[in-house]
A = this chain, B = another copy of it.
Amino acid sequence: MESSKREKRKVGLIGCGAIGSEIAVAIDSSRVNAELVAVYDACRERAYTLVSRLNKRPMIADSIEALLASDTELIVEAASQQAVKDYARSIVEHGNDIMLMSVGALLDDTFYAELCSLLERHGRRLYLPTGAIAGIDAIRSVKHMLKEVTLTTTKHPRALTGAPFFKEHRVNLKGLKKARVIYNGYAREAVRLFPANVNVAAILSIAGIGADKTKVKIVADPRARRNIHEIHAKGEFGELYFKVSNVPSPSNPKTSYLAVLSAIECLSRACNGRVSIGT
């Protein structure tokens, strides 16, 4: 038992895009106490490109079934919400722990409840990284007392273009001279109108008071050089305010560097964690 605890955990990866690749490289460079045994990507080409970069080459699975047939203990999803919906259940039923990047999929309450009961039944664990924000440790600690939680995301108009929100609302993004609140609502709706924000809004909702009570503001700021997430929370315990100014990931401008680093640290804790630092 003691020695087994010291052994590297056998990890499988679903999704070989930018984030999946960063995680794979972190494992390959021994930054995580794990062994990447198998990878899967709907685009086999992408899986090949990733594996060719690694020193210890994992098996390339040509289906989820093949991935689950390998002797993995923990599967990392870095693909899409759809992949979570399609595969999470069988991953757990095959006796794997699971770490999700596409946390937004858990805003489907029925699906989340079903996944939780499967985890219970199979004695497995679900790991959800904090992602591109911070302070989920404190939010979880005060969740029973939260009177109000607001996520304010500020981006350059350029970074907002194309969001479904603009199909219903005419906003002259290019014409903006100064910062403007373009959306003010709740997480449940916000993630539909601004899918780029989904994981941040989802983890905050899940850790705190849920997607129907968590407020979300979207601000377009022509002077914004970075994506900024702010969280305000209040309750009997006092007040919390977090501000995170994110630099894009070197490997993928659409992802915050912090989101990638957070995933690697979350996996690291899941794979070793003799010392659990932080609530």
Complex partner residue of A136 from B145, B270, B279, CB under 8 angstroms? B279
Task: Pull 10 A–B residue pairs with CB atoms less than 8 Å apart, ordered by A.
Answer: A2-B123, A125-B276, A129-B278, A130-B138, A134-B240, A141-B264, A238-B245, A238-B256, A239-B244, A241-B244
Distance between Cα atoms of A130 and B130 in the complex (Å): 14
Chain B residue contacts of A246, Cβ below 8 A: 237-238
Q: Told that A134-B242, A140-B265 touch, could you supply 7 new A-B pairs with CB distance under 8 A?
A: A120-B274, A130-B141, A135-B138, A142-B261, A238-B244, A240-B242, A241-B244
Complex partner residue of A244 from B1, B120, B240, B275, CB under 8 angstroms? B240
Distance between Cα atoms of A242 and B157 in the complex (Å): 26
Distance between Cα atoms of A126 and B272 in the complex (Å): 12
Question: How many copies of this kind of chain does the complex include?
Answer: 2
Name the interface residues of A231-252: CB closer than 8 Å to any CB of B: 236-247
Query: Residue A24 at the B interface, CB < 8 A?
Result: no
Chain B residue contacts of A120, Cβ below 8 A: 6, 274
